[in-house]
Structure 1
């Protein structure tokens, strides 16, 4: 009976610390940005990189369409590939915080969460010379202290998610999902690294093929791929 009571107590604490804050923040957009204001403007965001192969190809693709993007990077991966952050910065893309490791905020105590955010911010500053402005937690998961720990940054979520971490859906299905979500002020969530639990290692290759088709389609419809700063401005 005591063990059962402890289990229920731990579950109650976990729900209060992790699940409930995540649901409230995401459903009611508390302290976060999920979309923009302007017609025919959308933002591309990429999580989990940089990756030595896929991020390089992604930057080439974005450059060929003159498309701005935001990269939410993992600090320890950036330390292994600093030239990619330097290139992102030189080509006008935003670089945001996605923790020093790809850690789940649900299981981070407040001091560890602050360390994950602060260490990643320091890596970005050291490589680019610029302080990051944006934050997105891995898996979009928050805890009771997330908004306080990230108060120096604007927390960015998304209004389009297409499960691009799964290679099995193929280029055609992913491209159709991206096209179907096209609309005013959308923030797209995509991934340029497939090395995380639950993702397919080769998924970014499929994403790149679908993204090329989507970039062409969206531009033909009159949409521009803009920075997060531009997206949030009111016309």
Structure 2
């Protein structure tokens, strides 16, 4: 067996198979709410000094709270944006210190990156993040070690908004179709990630502007992840 074949085997066993199993079974992850008309908008890969302020302005205009999964290195460079996200009532979660797939991270490096990111955010906001979303939604065999410290949040809809060619109209249609009870929608407020188009967040912001003004969004309960989980807990208590 040559080195390339061995490398592929390791990636498949260590990363790809656990990712498929975890996503399919939902084991140890939070990926859908259980509250009528509740929708959580979540944003990955930021904070971005150009696009994140525009997004925050839009959310504030429509009085909508969201959840931001921040890259630690970017948070460290943009503390004023992290502070603004927290001050305006949004949730903050971790997206690791750098946007690196867990398929290529062994446990010590994964833990170190998350701890460093959590430390950075806590120093800025005074609050330690409790939510985590792995870059690209990739897991590995050692995911359980992370899940003992953080609530891992996935999604019900990932819309391809990192591609500029998708266009605003198509993204609006996809957003409308995603507005289901308990939906967790993932979008991206930075175009600097590998595989993303730099100007794609501009289309995302335009699409959200159209969505918020559309009748389809009028009856939606826009929630942060913490609000959705709290509402779900209350619903379960009432059912007992």
Q: TM-score range by the shorter chain?
A: over 0.9
Structure 1 position 39 matched with structure 2 position 36: yes
Q: 1:199 aligns with which of 196, 220, 224?
A: 196
Residue 151 of structure 2: aligned partner: 154
Q: What's the TM-score once normalised by structure 1's chain length?
A: 0.94
SS at match of 2:161: coil
Deviations 1:56-92 (A, max 9, x none): 0100100111111000000111111100110111111
Question: 5 Å matches for 1:164-179?
Answer: 164-179=161-176
Residue 231 of structure 1: aligned partner: 228
Deviation >4 Å, runs of 4+:
6-9
Q: 1:123 aligns with which of 120, 133, 139?
A: 120
CA distance in 2, matches of 1:14, 1:84: 36
Name stretches of at least 5 consecutive residues in structure 1 with no aligned partner: none
Name stretches of at least 5 consecutive residues in structure 2 with no aligned partner: 236-240
CA distance in 2, matches of 1:166, 1:57: 19
Q: 1:97 aligns with which of 91, 94, 99?
A: 94
CA distance in 2, matches of 1:213, 1:135: 29
Q: In the TM superposition, what is the alpha-carbon distance from 1:149 to its structure 2 partner?
A: 2.4
What number of residue pairs does the alignment pair up? 231
CA RMSD of aligned residues (A): 1.3
CA distance in 1, matches of 2:99, 2:6: 28
Residue 139 of structure 1: aligned partner: 136
Q: What's the TM-score once normalised by structure 2's chain length?
A: 0.93
Question: 5 Å matches for 1:56-135?
Answer: 56-135=53-132
